Amino acid sequence: MGGQTGFGPIAADDDGQFFHADWEARVYAVVRTLQRRGVINKEFDNLRDAIERIPPAEYLSLSYYERWLRATEMLLAEKGLLADD
Partner 1 sequence: MSGGHGELPVAARVRRLEERLIAAGLVTDDELDEVLAQVFASAAPANGARMVARAWTDPAYRDRLLADGNAAAAELGFGAGSHGYLLKVVENTASVHNMIVCTLCSCYPTALLGPSPSWYKSFAYRSRAVREPRGVLAEFGLELPDDTEIRVWDANSETRYLVLPQRPEAADGMDENALASLVTSNGLIGTAVR
Partner 2 sequence: MTRFAAGARVRARCADPEGHTRLPRYARGHVGEVLEIRGTWQLPDQAVRGVSQREPVYAVRFPAAELWGSGSHSVILDMWESYLEEAP
Question: Pick from 69, 32, 83: which is nearest to 59 by CA?
Answer: 69
Gap between the Cα atoms of 63 and 24, Å rounded = 10
* 61 contacts partner 2 (rule: CB under 8 A): no
Do you know the residue count of the chain? 85
* Binds 49: which of partner 1, partner 2, none (CB < 5-8 Å by kind): partner 2
Nearer to partner 2, 45 or 58 (CB): 45
Q: Are 38 and 75 in contact (CB under 8 A)?
A: no
- Nearest distance from C-beta of residue 69 to partner 1, angstroms: 6
- Nearest distance from C-beta of residue 9 to partner 2, angstroms: 19
Q: Are 39 and 74 in contact (CB under 8 A)?
A: no
Nearer to partner 1, 44 or 78 (CB): 44
Residues of the shown chain interacting with partner 2 in the complex, contacts defined by CB under 8 A:
2-3, 41, 43, 45-46, 48-49, 52-53
